[in-house]
């Protein structure tokens, strides 16, 4: 089968950074779906692994942890899926990625894709939707609900600050928070196009992350003497903003993050306000085969329902053409630029 992968960690300027390959087709296990891949999306994890994780000796490494496709076959322990189903999923980081004609994925972390979307639009969603859902509802512990009669529902009376809000995760996190909670949402963005985007995704307020956060929160009337927000979702550059985020949080607030760090954070800075720190790693459930691993399939089904009901929207903003090494390099370069908005997708071979 056709696939795109690499043999060595190389910069995109090198002709061998990503290669068109011919690899054996995968065989599904007992819990797996065998999928004919119709579209894939790119994520920062692809760039990080291409730059820093070498394949096993003599092997090629195939990336890609966002896919939509058609089920070709199911393992003998699979329930709820059949050949011909249109599915979407993010896969597992310890297995081969989906930048290939065929791919196997554990059925428990997949779901039937939204009926109202095409394959490219659906492929833009899974990894970021899982990450955003887990970060908001599992890590930060916000309860879903928008009932005005229940003052405790959906984080009523609380403020959420989302940094790096215009990227893939932020784009769906803003929607989930706006549609399924009562949180007041503050997003960071600095360019006119990113400001417009995060407002369209559901932010109530936008502040500039190139300015001191405390000053920006004061500008919108949301910073008091001991902080201004109850929850922070730090999606990028956490090290750079960490002191300001600690300052911005109210006592007993929560900070959730997911980006890579080059050095440890000073957790003692959290003590004075009794703040808590929460990591989100969307691959944790599949990597460790946790008892609640199937929650990812269920939440993707809930996102599909929200999409088809019109409560949520896809976040596809760039189509990079057919799935081949040259186009995938362009998609990786877009992510490496640091100016990506929403999600980029490649479709078919």
Q: Which of 174, 167, 165, 187 is nearest to 136 (CA)?
A: 174
Query: Pick from 220, 156, 155: which is nearest to 187 by CA?
Result: 220
Query: Using CA atoms, how far apart are residues 281 and 176, in angstroms rounded to an integer?
Result: 18
pLDDT at 208 over 80: yes
Mean pLDDT on 32-57: 96
Q: Quick check: 139 and 288 in contact, CB under 8 A?
A: no
Q: What is the mean pLDDT of residues 296-319?
A: 98
CA-wise closest residue to 143 among 176, 168, 111: 176
Which of 50-54, 154-158, 163-167, 341-345 is least confident? 154-158
Residues 6+ positions from 349 with CB-CB distance below 8 Å: 2, 101, 322, 323, 324
Predicted confidence (pLDDT) per residue in 173-191, tens digit: 999 999 999 999 999 999 9
Residue 158's pLDDT is 96
Q: Which CATH class is domain 131-279?
A: alpha beta
State the average pLDDT for the chain. Answer: 96
CB atoms within 10 A of CB 291: 8
Structure tokens at 277: 């720190």
| Options 2.20.28.10, 3.30.9.10, 3.40.640.10, 3.90.180.10; CATH of 2-125+286-347 | 3.90.180.10
C-beta atoms surrounding 334 within 10 Å: 18
**Positions of CATH 3.90.180.10 in the chain:** 2-125+286-347
Give the pLDDT band of residue 149 (cuts 50, 70, 90): low
Tokens found for residue 200: 């369209």
Q: Is 103 or 152 the better-scoring residue by pLDDT?
A: 103
On the question of pLDDT at 151 being above 70, the answer is: no
Residue ranges, CATH 3.40.50.720, the chain: 131-279
Q: Which residues contact 64 (CB under 8 A, 6 or more apart)?
A: 4, 40, 42, 46, 91, 97, 98, 99, 100, 103
> What's residue 58's pLDDT?
87
Q: What percent of the chain lies above the pLDDT cut of 90?
A: 93
Which DSSP symbol is given to 59? -
Q: What is the pLDDT of residue 155?
A: 85
Instruction: Output the 3-class SS for 191-250.
Output: CHHHHHHHHHHCCCEEECCCCCHHHHHHHCCCCECCECEEEEEECCCHHHHHHHHHHHEE
pLDDT tens-place string over residues 114-133: 999 999 999 999 999 999 99
Distance between CA 65 and CA 69 in Å, rounded?
Answer: 13
pTM across the whole model: 0.96
Model confidence over 237-275: pLDDT tens digits? 999 999 999 999 999 999 999 998 988 999 999 999 999
């Amino acid at each position: 089968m056709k696939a795109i992968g690499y043999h060595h960690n190389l910069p995109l300027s090198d002709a061998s950074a990503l290669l068109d390959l011919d690899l054996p087709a995968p065989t599904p296990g007992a819990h797996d779906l065998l999928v004919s891949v119709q579209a894939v999306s790119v994520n920062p994890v692809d760039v990080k692994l291409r730059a820093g994780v070498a394949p096993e000796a003599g092997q090629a490494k195939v990336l890609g942890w966002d896919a939509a496709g058609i089920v070709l076959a199911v393992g003998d322990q699979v329930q709820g899926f059949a050949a011909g189903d249109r599915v979407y999923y993010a896969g597992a980081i310890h297995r081969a990625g989906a930048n290939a004609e065929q791919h196997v994925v554990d059925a428990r972390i997949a779901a039937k894709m939204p009926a109202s979307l095409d394959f490219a639009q659906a492929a833009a969603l899974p990894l970021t939707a899982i990450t955003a859902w887990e970060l908001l509802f599992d890590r930060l512990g916000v309860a879903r609900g928008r009932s005005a009669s229940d003052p405790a529902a959906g984080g009523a009376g609380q403020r959420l600050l989302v940094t790096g809000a215009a990227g893939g995760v932020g784009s769906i996190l803003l929607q989930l928070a706006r549609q399924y909670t009562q949180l007041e949402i503050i997003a960071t963005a600095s360019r006119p196009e990113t400001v417009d985007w995060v407002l369209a995704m559901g932010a109530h307020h936008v502040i500039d992350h190139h300015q001191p956060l405390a000053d920006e929160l004061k500008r919108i009337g949301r910073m008091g003497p001991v902080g201004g927000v109850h929850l922070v979702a730090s999606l990028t550059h956490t090290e750079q903003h960490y002191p300001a985020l600690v300052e911005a949080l109210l006592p007993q607030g929560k900070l959730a993050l997911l980006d890579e760090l080059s050095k440890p954070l000073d957790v003692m800075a959290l003590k004075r306000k009794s703040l808590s720190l929460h990591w989100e790693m969307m691959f944790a459930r599949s990597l460790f085969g946790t008892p609640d691993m199937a929650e990812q399939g269920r939440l993707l089904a809930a996102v599909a329902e929200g999409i088809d009901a019109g409560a949520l929207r896809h976040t596809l903003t760039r189509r990079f053409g057919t799935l081949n090494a040259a186009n995938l390099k362009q998609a990786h370069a877009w992510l490496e630029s640091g100016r990506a908005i929403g999600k980029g997708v490649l479709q078919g071979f």
